[in-house]
């Protein structure tokens, strides 16, 4: 079992969670794994109809949030059993930050949760906000190598392309969301542009933050423990 890593001396924009919260989260890593496992199961159930209407070859790009939480599980488990892999950590960081905060943006701007007060949309907002925040504990045990971040940026950038701009097989593959965007074929509404802009912006932001962590560690002479 891996020991708890020391806190990083990172600026708040790279490590926004209080150190005590980071440490508590890592100390109870198996609880976080269980929570993510439940969220992953719910997520795949949520996407069941969309998957049935999607060609099998494109299934990996459809269930965005459950794939991201599955990557978080893989990241935590690989660290806890001493089998760190930088590419898993980078994928988990970018995926959870991106899709966690993307759903928050969707609920606020497209589903208008503050006005409707819809309990289910509030559940999605709160749970995905937590999903985005949990990405910020990964830096404690991960080494965001440049190739690993490149893998993450390439994969989630590809997701953005087939979700909103250039479907390769079938139609676009973004989530079915909100009353203002009824189906995946309707892209002549503002909701589509908001969702696409948020997805691309968050991919770029998460990539920048991961590389910034690496640069900051290089300047301070510290290094992560991933292979």
Q: What is the 3-state secondary structure (H, E, C) of 127-164?
A: HHHHHHHHHHHHHHCCCCCHHHHHHHHHHHHHHHHHHH
Residue 227 is predicted with a pLDDT of 43
pLDDT in tens, 123-178: 999 999 999 999 999 999 998 999 999 999 999 999 999 998 988 888 777 777 55
Residue 169 is predicted with a pLDDT of 85
Q: Model confidence at 226, in pLDDT bands (50, 70, 90)? A: very low
Which structure tokens are listed for 24? 């508590």
Q: What is the C-alpha to C-alpha distance for residues 142 and 5, in angstroms, rounded to an integer?
A: 10
Residue 56 is predicted with a pLDDT of 93
Q: What is the C-alpha to C-alpha distance for residues 195 and 181, in angstroms, rounded to an integer?
A: 10
Domain boundaries, the chain: 19-220
pLDDT in tens, 188-219: 677 788 889 999 999 999 999 999 999 998 76
Select the more confidently predicted residue: 25 or 118. Answer: 25
Q: Model confidence at 6, in pLDDT bands (50, 70, 90)? A: confident
Considering the entire predicted model, what is its pTM?
A: 0.91
At residue 210, the 3 state secondary structure works out as helix
């Amino acid at each position: 079992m891996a020991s708890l890593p020391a806190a990083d001396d990172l600026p708040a924009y790279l490590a926004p969670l209080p150190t005590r919260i980071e440490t508590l989260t890592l100390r109870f890593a198996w609880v976080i794994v269980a929570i993510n496992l439940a969220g992953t199961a719910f997520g795949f159930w949520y996407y069941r109809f969309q998957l049935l209407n999607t060609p099998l070859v494109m299934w990996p790009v459809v269930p965005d949030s459950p794939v991201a939480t599955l990557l978080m599980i893989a990241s935590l488990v690989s660290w806890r059993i001493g089998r760190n892999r930088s590419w898993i950590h980078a994928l988990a960081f970018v995926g959870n930050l991106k899709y966690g905060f993307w759903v928050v943006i969707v609920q606020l701007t497209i589903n208008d949760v503050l006005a409707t007060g819809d309990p289910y949309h509030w559940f999605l907002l709160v749970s995905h906000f937590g999903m985005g925040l949990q990405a910020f504990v990964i830096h404690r045990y991960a080494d965001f190598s440049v190739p690993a971040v490149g893998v993450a940026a390439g994969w989630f950038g590809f997701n953005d392309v087939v979700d909103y701009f250039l479907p390769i097989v079938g139609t676009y593959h973004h989530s079915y969301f909100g009353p203002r965007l009824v189906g995946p074929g309707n892209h002549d509404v503002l909701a589509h542009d908001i969702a696409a802009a948020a997805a691309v912006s968050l991919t770029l932001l998460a990539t920048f933050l991961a590389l910034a962590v690496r640069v900051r560690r290089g300047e301070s002479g510290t290094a992560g423990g991933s292979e």
